Amino acid sequence: EDKVVQSPLSLVVHEGDTVTLNCSYEVTNFRSLLWYKQEKKAPTFLFMLTSSGIEKKSGRLSSILDKKELSSILNITATQTGDSAIYLCAVQSSGSARQLTFGSGTQLTVLP
Amino acid sequence: DAGVTQSPTHLIKTRGQHVTLRCSPISGHKSVSWYQQVLGQGPQFIFQYYEKEERGRGNFPDRFSARQFPNYSSELNVNALLLGDSALYLCASSLATRARTTDTQYFGPGTRLTVL
């Protein structure tokens, strides 16, 4: 059974700080790892990392996949209050369904 | 372009009743997946449909069923509701063409179901 573990469970920082969120996984046949941001309801897509694309960057957010260590990190630099959200990590394995297996998420709170 | 839409946004039911949740995917997307998110946890996979056929099913009881229509919209049905079915039900759509081995799923705003 595929498994995803995220840490820390929650994090409180001040605006301007840099944060690193962690995700580790166990999956039978890895295809991709995805990061989502969930503020109220709909998780919004941030990044997809695969064997052919192990590093992604968009503005202040960046993510790296370590296939050897079966893990990924999501970095957010110069945090803003608008970054406050739950950050979800999910893995997609091979198979016809290509369903996502999610971790429990990291609750990030950015204080002004 | 419209994103994934879901209806209703909120729903309150009592134990034993049944419920139907609806989802319309992003235009051009042929696959719809359903997830259940209980408070404090990540979404858990329920079903995936591709071109009206069930492609995968998660570890949920037979009280849960779904279908996909010719226009690629989808319904999730839950019978004999239990208190533990209270959750946010998320729908995600994706291109999911057979040639693609990875597939980005885009989520709708969800339906908040409360079972009393």
Q: DSSP assignment, residue A75?
A: E
Given a cut of 90, whether residue A97 has pLDDT beyond it is no
How many degrees, rounded to 5, is the angle at CA A62 between CA A59 and CA A66?
A: 165
One-character DSSP codes across chain B:
----EEE-SEEEE-TT--EEEEEEPPTT--EEEEEEE-TTS--EEEEEEETTEEEEE-S--TTEEEEE-TTS-EEEEE-S--GGG-EEEEEEEE---TT-SS---EE---EEEEE-
Over residues B51-98, the pLDDT tens digits come to: 889 988 999 999 999 999 999 999 999 999 999 999 999 999 998 666
The structure tokens 């885009």 sit at B106
Given a cut of 70, whether residue A49 has pLDDT beyond it is yes
CA–CA distances in Å: residue B39 to residues A18, A48, B44, B92, B113:
27, 25, 12, 19, 12
Interface of B with A in 7-36 (CB under 8 A): 33, 35
Encoded tokens for B109: 């705003």
The rounded percent of chain A whose pLDDT value lies above 70 is: 98
| Greatest alpha-carbon span in chain A | 45
Does the distance separating the beta carbons of A48 and B104 come in below 8 Å? Answer: yes
Q: Contact A3/A101 with Cβ under 8 angstroms?
A: yes
pLDDT given for residue B97 in this prediction: 66
Q: Contact B81/B115 with Cβ under 8 angstroms?
A: yes
Site from A39, A86, A99, A102 to mutate, B interface, most B CB atoms within 10 angstroms: A99
Distance from CA of B88 to the nearest CA of A (A): 8
Does the distance separating the beta carbons of B108 and A102 come in below 8 Å? Answer: no
pLDDT band at A53 (very low <50, low <70, confident <90, very high): confident
Over residues B4-59, the pLDDT tens digits come to: 999 999 999 999 999 999 999 999 999 999 999 999 999 999 999 988 899 889 99
Distance from CA of B82 to the nearest CA of A (A): 22
Helices assigned H by DSSP within chain A: none
Residue A83 in 3-state DSSP? helix
pLDDT given for residue B98 in this prediction: 62
pLDDT given for residue A28 in this prediction: 84
pLDDT band at A99 (very low <50, low <70, confident <90, very high): confident
Among A45, A92, A97, select the one facing B55 at the smallest CB separation.
Answer: A97
pLDDT given for residue B100 in this prediction: 60
pLDDT band at A55 (very low <50, low <70, confident <90, very high): confident
Q: Which residues face A74 on adjacent strands?
A: A21, A63
Among A42, A94, A104, select the one facing B109 at the smallest CB separation.
Answer: A42
